[in-house]
Amino acid sequence: MTNNEQPTPSHMLDLKEWSKDNALNIFRTADEMSQILGRTIKKVPALQGFTVANLFFENSTRTKLSFERAAKALSADVMNFSASSSSLSKGESLKDTLRTLDAMQADLYIVRHGVSGAPYQLQKWTNAAIVNAGDGRRAHPTQALLDAFTFRTSFPNFDGFGGKKLVIVGDLMHSRVVRSNVELWTKLGAQVTLCGPNSLVPPALAAFEGVERNLNLAEAVEGAHAVMAVRIQHERMQKGLFPSLAEYRMRYQLNEKIMERAHPDALVMHPGPMNRDIEISGSLADSERSVIEKQVANGIPIRMAVLYTLLVGRKKS
């Protein structure tokens, strides 16, 4: 293990550019951040004098608060920009808006945008570090990192991702969370099984090495170490992409009965926000197996680790 020699990327746009060792380093840094968050004074001056800017062109209270909390716990200043309140509505071009914001001399941008690849665009126009907080259907790397980190810290006697099996079930078609999780878990050595209605599980996603597609939930869950239910978009049904809510529940809802087929220690996950008793039974979501709230909580140490790593702790090649 010579992971110290692995240079760390300057941005977190997509996990493609982050190696297995880079990811494991984030986990180790997040362990330290978790310790800080366990103290009475949950704050360190590590990023004092740094400015982190939230650029949310799509609304997301949950993710924005999580990044804001992480930045403040490291004593960074936080600035919030939301597209609706901007000159974009006066017809200013996206480029000019970003160059203007960049003149504010932020050290790092956290970007969420409805268009896939937007954070890559932004990167061309700034010297600041960029963290992708979700772009179109493409990627949501910190969500995948916190999901895997939660498994790593919660699975009993965790001994590495190798040989572990993750099942993801639900509406996988348009999900950047799913794409980033597939990317990360396979890189870490786990095996991923995708499940859901035929129209919502794109075969292309299963083309990654270590990924399989199995539309029968009972079979898919067999022996799994973690099962992640993904939100069903109600809008989909109106477009006829699956028959009915009742049928969806019957065939794809994650519940206690289905979980009996998984590994005895298997964890239940959901990236939120949940539709209780639709893609997941409320009782399972509240059960001991469930680490759903831990996922949200782990968003803070993971994002602290990402901000810290990009701003001051980066290993250069």
Give the interface with a second copy as residue ranges (CB under 8 A).
37, 39-43, 48-51, 59, 61-62, 65-66, 68-69, 72-73, 77, 79, 81, 85-87, 90-93, 96-97, 99-105, 107, 234, 272-276, 293-294, 296-297, 299-300
- In angstroms, what is the C-alpha Rg of the chain? 20
Q: Residue 197's closest CA among 236, 140, 144?
A: 236
69 or 261: whose CB is closer to a second copy? 69
Cβ at position 38, least distance to a second copy in Å: 10
Q: Cβ 42 to a second copy, closest distance in Å?
A: 5
- Rounded to a whole number of angstroms, the minimum distance from the CB of residue 281 to a second copy is 14
Question: Least distance to a second copy from the beta carbon of 108, Å?
Answer: 13
Instruction: State which residue, 19 or 86, has the beta carbon closest to a second copy.
Output: 86
Q: How many CB atoms lie within 10 A of CB 90?
A: 7
The residue (of 17 and 92) whose beta carbon lies closer to a second copy is 92
- Placement of tokens 């969420």 in the chain: 112
Tell me how far apart the alpha carbons of residues 305 and 302 are, in angstroms, rounded to a whole number: 5
Backbone angles phi, psi at 107, to 5 degrees: -90, -20
In 10 A of CB 212, how many CB atoms?
14
Q: Which of 14, 313, 3 is nearest to 143 (CA)?
A: 14
> What are the structure tokens assigned to 121, written together?
């665009």
- What is the CB-side half-sphere exposure of residue 308 using CA atoms within 13 A? 23
Nearest approach, Cβ of 44 to a second copy (angstroms)?
Answer: 9
Minimum Å distance from CB 48 to a second copy?
7
Residue 252 backbone phi and psi in degrees, to 5:
-130, 0
Compute the least distance from the CB of residue 312 to a second copy, in Å. 9
| Cβ closest to a second copy, residue 190 vs residue 299 | 299
CB 138 within 8 A of CB 192: no
Whichever of 62 and 174 has its CB closer to a second copy, that residue is: 62
> What is the spatial distance between Cα 150 and Cα 187, in angstroms, rounded to a whole number?
16
Residue whose CB is less far from a second copy, 97 or 214 = 97
Residue 70 near residue 100, CB atoms below 8 Å: no
**Residues listed for the chain:** 317
Query: At closest approach, how far in Å is the CB of 257 from a second copy?
Result: 22
Closest to a second copy by CB, 86 vs 186, is 86
Question: Measured from the CB atom, is 85 or 244 closer to a second copy?
Answer: 85
Half-sphere exposure in the Cβ direction for 71 (13 Å, CA): 25
